[in-house]
Amino acid sequence: MPTIRDLADRLWNGDITTADYHPVGWRHPEAEEIAEGVLFYKGIASANTIDTGDGLVMLDTGAVNDTRPLHEQVRRWRPDAPLRAAVFSHHHVDHIFGVGPFEQEAEERRWPRPLVYGHELLEWHFARYQRTHGWNTAINRRQFAIDAPHFSWPQQYRLPDVTYTRRLTFRQGSLTFELRHTRGETEDATWTWIPERKLLAPGDLFIWAVPNAGNPQKVQRYCSEWAAGLREMASLGAELLLPGHGLPIFGAGRIRQALLDTAELLESIEAQVLALMNTGCTLDRVLHEVQLPAHLLEKPYLRPVYDDPQFLVRNVWRLYGGWYDGEPDNLLPAPRAEQAREWVALAGGLDRVLERAAALRAEGNLRLACHLVEYAVIAEPGSRAAHDLRAEIYAARAALQPSSMARNILNHAALASRQGKRDLAGDY
Q: 392-409, pLDDT tens digit by residue? A: 999 999 999 999 999 999
pLDDT band for position 389 (cuts 50, 70, 90):
very high
Q: Across all residues in the chain, what is the average pLDDT? A: 97
* pLDDT digits 0-9 by tens, 294-325: 999 999 999 999 999 999 999 999 999 999 99
- Using 50, 70 and 90 to split pLDDT, how confident is the model at 17? very high
pLDDT at 146: 86
Question: Percentage of the chain surpassing pLDDT 70?
Answer: 100
pLDDT surpasses 90 at 18:
yes
- Burial status of residue 154 (CB atoms within 10 A of its CB: 0-12, 13-18, 19 or more): middle
Please write the tens of the pLDDT for every residue from 113-149: 999 999 999 999 999 999 999 999 999 999 998 888 8
**Listed residue (319, 206, 313, 221) closest to 263, CA to CA:** 206
> pLDDT of 45-85, one tens digit each?
999 999 999 999 999 999 999 999 999 999 999 999 999 99
pTM: 0.96
Q: Is the CB of residue 66 less than 8 Å from the CB of residue 208? A: no
pLDDT at 427 over 80: no
For the chain, the first-to-last Cα distance in angstroms comes to 46
Cβ(136)–Cβ(129) below 8 Å: yes
pLDDT of residue 148: 84
Query: Kind of pairing, strands 175-181 and 190-194?
Result: antiparallel
Rounded Cα–Cα distance for residues 40 and 399 (Å): 33
pLDDT band of residue 371 (cuts 50, 70, 90) is very high
Strand order in the sheet with 38-42: 32-35, 38-42, 46-51, 56-59, 83-87, 115-119, 162-164
- pLDDT band, residue 25 (cuts 50/70/90): very high
- The most distant pair of C-alpha atoms in the chain lies apart, rounded to whole Å, by 76
Distances 99 to 48, 94, 122, 176, 422 between C-alpha atoms, Å: 12, 13, 16, 21, 39
The model's pLDDT over 80-108, given as tens digits with 9 standing for 90+, comes to 999 999 999 999 999 999 999 999 999 99
CA-nearest of 354, 35, 310, 44 to 175 is 35
**pLDDT for residue 26 is more than 90:** yes
**Per-residue pLDDT at 428 exceeds 90:** no
Does the pLDDT at position 216 exceed 90? yes
CB 84 within 8 A of CB 172: yes
Query: Contact 200/241 with Cβ under 8 angstroms?
Result: yes
pLDDT at 178 over 90: yes
Cα 313-218-417 angle, rounded to 5 deg: 95
